[in-house]
Chain A
Amino acid sequence: MSTRQRAVLLVLPALVPVAAVVGAALVSAVLLSLGLTPLVGQPELSLDAWRAAAGDLGTATRLSLGIAAAATVLAAGVGLCLALAATAVVRRSRLLGALAALTIPVPHLVGAAAIGLLLADSGFLPRLLGVAPGDWPSLVGGQWWVAVVAEYAWKESAFVALVVGSVLASRARSYDETAALLGAGRWARFRYVTLPLAAPALGVASAVTFVYTLGSYEVAALLGRPYPEPLPVMAVRLAGSIDLAVRPQAAAVAVTTAVLALAAVLLALRALRRLSAWD
């Protein structure tokens, strides 16, 4: 048995359940969206569900990608700063790291409820500042989805910080000191030592954040608005319709989301392979 075959065998126990569960779910969603497994009536191959959903699909896709991109950029930026601060050799940096790590076990649903209580127009913050609900900007349920992006950015920045921080903590210091001894300034050390070391981890964490945000429902549902709606919210609304004939449309939206997420993962993997080629 070659090493390659053994490696494949070792991966199988993890791979098979994932492939079976995700594969079965995706296949059943595709079949439902094509009218092959209806809840009522005769199975019949048709694109009706896709056609019916097409009108809102474009808006929903753009909105979902926008929210995911904004949240990812913010989370990556804040997370990188947190990681740098937490691994820096200064007092209280450990405390900062611990505080960031504390955010991770908070479920998104709880986070969303907390952000809602804080930022809503009759929430804690406007009350604290003495701003009347009418004068407070519509952060929750507003046009720019500020509360939704803020929640994802807050929660995911902690995740990014954890991943990037662990890489930096184990590898960056010795390189950093060497560079300093060779006379590299602060900026040069960050630009040519720390950032390249952190980039692969930052890329992976950002890709995970992007895909998670793209497919997640609860935060956008709690802090969003009824129209326009991101893909997962649209899928859940259609899936809950009192007309069973609408459910295939929900499956079509879910399949679209899955395809987008898959494309994002593949793109990220390709970019990462190039990025970590020096390693």
Chain B
Amino acid sequence: MAAGRRRSITAGAALLALAGCAAPSSEAPEAADRPWDDVLAEADGQTVDLWMYGGDEAGNAYVDDVLAPAAAGLGVTVRRVPVADTGDALDRVLSERQAGVTDGEVDLVWVNGENYATGRQAGAWLCDWALDLPNREHTDPDDPLLENDFGVPVEGCESPWHKAQFTLVYDSARVPEPPTTLAGVLDWAQANPGRFTYPAPPDFTGSVFVRQVLSSVAAGPGEVPLEYSQEAYDEYAPALFDRLAELDPALWRGGETYPQSQQELDRLFADGEVDMTMTYGPATLTDLVADGTVPPTTRVLTLEEGTFGNASFLAIPSTSGDAAGAQVVADLALSPEQQVAKADPGTWGQFTVLDLERLDEADRAAFEQLPASPVVPPYEELSQNAQAELSADWVGPLDEGWRRSVLAP
């Protein structure tokens, strides 16, 4: 019958089309080696789609009102594409790669270490361009945060944007004598049932918290090897899960469930259901206090042993058709003018990746004259004893182990 034949032809065609797209090579393509003036000339007139997490109002405003007009001065149009999760941008790039697209929808992505590592796994990022940006000379070439991103070498496949520090946040009105170490925080949580919880991994922040506890129960920073191995996991993970399982009944709602995201934890904190929250981007706190979302007595809890720090980056997908324009925007974002504007707590308050020693007098003065935030201490204080992030290979097994041992034992 006609319909039957038609149906089998359709199915056959679909199968063929799908079988045709085998996995693309996981080799990362490299940017052409050429003078910066050529890049500038090619970038003129290009439109760069910058995909970034859209839930941060201050960040959106910075890109729209500060970065985009400056890029327009160089002939590059910046179009901000807000995404709920950076993984969405990566998914888009991966499917474009599978379809063999060379002029994709994504030209520049604000990536965190996890997504960068995932993209490297599939060769989704353009490489060998970030070290050649003219403004790169203002950064410290030996800065460990800029050499490795979650244990994956950066190697010129992404350009630094700002630094971040994992921070615990508490309400000083409700916790008058805050603990000073992470072990102390866990003991405090145990002594104050229902007043503490953390987002369930694989939420980004919850995942960091679990790694931070791993480092704490393993007798301090530096004890757990940064490189993942099954032996290291078997050695250190059981103590971590034991400690968190022991803590579980003392958490919010008796540990029977967990907030699913940092936003949910922030809401619990704002509603006074818990006394602490946590974030990898303390910059947003200034705004949250100013607009009254969280109480004015909100303070940052600096830990004696320090916390994980990292840098976030801008990466160019290998499927981008406007890679030159994207490089120009990444270079612009690294310029002292843009970095100082972004570091202003009134704008976005993100910590700079530049090395102030390498700036000229006027630029350094601009950084030093930045107003201080009433809530967030300066980066030097926050990043005291900063610990290096464990490699991204740790994340999956720890998240999965947490699900098995703590969430659903």
| A interface residue numbers (CB < 8 A to B) | 5, 8-9, 12, 15-16, 19-20, 23-24, 27-28, 31, 36-43, 121-122, 133-134, 138, 141-143, 221, 224-228, 237, 239-244, 246
Q: Which 9 A-B pairs have the closest CB atoms?
A: A226-B200, A122-B271, A225-B257, A24-B14, A242-B114, A243-B396, A227-B407, A227-B408, A242-B118
Q: Tell me the minimal C-beta distance from A163 to chain B in angstroms.
A: 28
CB contacts (< 8 Å) of A27 on chain B: these are: 11, 14-15, 18
A23 in complex: contacting residue of B10, B91, B117, CB < 8 Å: B10
Partner of A41, one of B2, B23, B115: B23
Pair A240/B23 contact, Cβ less than 8 Å: no
Shortest CB-to-CB span from B90 to chain A, Å, is: 9
Could you tell me the distance between the alpha carbons of A143 and B253 in the complex, rounded to whole angstroms?
Answer: 11
Sample 25 A-B pairs with CB under 8 A, ordered by A number: A8-B3, A12-B6, A19-B10, A19-B11, A23-B14, A24-B17, A27-B14, A37-B22, A121-B273, A122-B268, A133-B271, A133-B273, A134-B273, A138-B253, A138-B256, A138-B257, A226-B200, A227-B403, A241-B202, A242-B87, A242-B202, A242-B396, A243-B118, A243-B121, A244-B122
* Distance in angstroms between the alpha carbons of A57 and B395 in the assembled complex: 23
Q: Do the beta carbons of B10 and A242 come within 8 Å of each other?
A: no
A242 neighbours in B (Cβ, 8 Å): 87, 114-115, 117-118, 202, 392, 395-396
A141: nearest chain-B partner, CB-CB: B257
A43 touches B396 (CB 8 A): no
- Rounded to whole Å, the gap between the CB of B256 and the closest CB of chain A is 7
Q: Does B34 contact A (CB under 8 A)?
A: no
A136 to chain B, nearest CB (A): 11
State the CA gap A8–B2 with chains docked (Å).
9
Asked if B183 is at the interface of the complex by the 8 Å CB criterion, the answer is: no
CB-based nearest A residue for B258:
A226
- CB proximity of A126 to chain B, nearest CB, Å: 11
**Contact indicator per residue, chain B 321-337, by CB within 8 Å of chain A (1) or not (0):** 00000000000000000
Question: Does residue B85 face the partner (Cβ distance < 8 Å to A)?
Answer: yes
Which residues of chain A come closer than 8 Å to B26, judged between CB atoms?
Answer: 40-41
Q: Which residue from A16, A24, A221 sits with its C-beta under 8 Å from B6?
A: A16
**CB <8 Å contact, A122 and B23:** no
A40 touches B260 (CB 8 A): no
Question: Would B21 and A37 count as touching, CB distance under 8 A?
Answer: yes
Q: Does B192 contact A (CB under 8 A)?
A: no
**Seed contacts A16-B10, A23-B14, A243-B121; 17 additional CB < 8 Å A-B pairs:** A8-B2, A12-B6, A24-B17, A27-B14, A27-B18, A39-B23, A138-B256, A142-B257, A226-B257, A226-B407, A227-B403, A239-B91, A240-B85, A241-B396, A243-B396, A244-B118, A244-B122
Residues of A within 8 A of B7 (CB): 19
Report the bound CA distance from A243 to B407 in whole Å.
Answer: 20
Closest to B97 in A: A39
A133 to chain B, nearest CB (A): 5
- Which residues of chain B have C-beta atoms less than 8 A from A246's C-beta? 396
Distance, CA A38 to CA B26, complexed state (A): 11
Residues of B within 8 A of A39 (CB): 23, 94, 98, 122
Is the beta-carbon distance between B23 and A40 smaller than 8 angstroms? yes
Measured in the bound complex, the distance between the Cα atoms of B98 and A19 in whole Å is 23
A134 touching B194 by the CB < 8 A rule? yes
Minimum C-beta distance from A115 to chain B (A): 15
Chain A residues contacting B392 (CB-CB under 8 Å) are: 242
* Bound Cα distance from A12 to B2, whole angstroms: 10
Does B2 lie within 8 Å of A37, measured CB to CB? no
The answer to whether B202 touches A42 (Cβ under 8 A) is: no
Partner of A240, one of B87, B122, B253, B260: B87
Which chain A residues lie closer than 8 Å to B408 at the CB level? Answer: 227-228
B390-409 at interface with A (beta carbon < 8 Å)? 392, 395-396, 403, 407-408
Distance, CA A225 to CA B257, complexed state (A): 7
**Using Cβ atoms and an 8 Å threshold, which residues of chain B touch A133?**
271, 273
Whether the pair A40, B122 counts as a contact (CB closer than 8 A) is yes
The complex places the Cα of A19 from the Cα of B94 at a distance, in Å, of: 25
**Separation of A138 and B194 alpha carbons in the complex (Å):** 14
Give B202 Cβ to nearest chain A Cβ, in Å.
7
Residue of A nearest to B122 (CB): A40
Query: In this complex, which of B3, B26, B194 has the most chain A Cβ atoms within 10 angstroms of its Cβ?
Result: B3
A210 to B7, CA, bound (A): 28
Shortest beta-carbon distance from A195 to chain B in Å = 37
CB distance from B255 to the nearest CB of A (A): 12
**In chain B, what residue has the closest Cβ to A28?**
B18
Known: A227-B403, A242-B115. A31 touches B18 (CB 8 A): yes
A108 to B101, CA, bound (A): 34
B268 CB contacts on chain A under 8 angstroms:
122
CA A15 – CA B3 in complex, angstroms?
A: 10
A37 B23 Cβ-Cβ under 8 A = yes
B2: chain A residues at CB < 8 Å are 5, 8-9
Of all chain A residues, the one with the shortest Cβ separation from B396 is A243
Q: Mark B178-209, 1 if CB is under 8 A from A, else 0.
A: 00000000000000001000001010000000
Q: How far is the CA of A121 from the CA of B197 in the complex (A)?
A: 15
How many angstroms between the C-alpha atoms of A38 and B85 in the bound complex?
22
User: Of A8, A31, A227, which is in contact with the most chain B CB atoms at under 10 Å from its CB?
Assistant: A227
Closest B residue to A16 by beta carbon equals B10
Q: Which of B142-195 contact A (CB under 8 A)?
A: 194
Q: List residues of chain A with CB within 8 A of the CB of B1.
A: 8
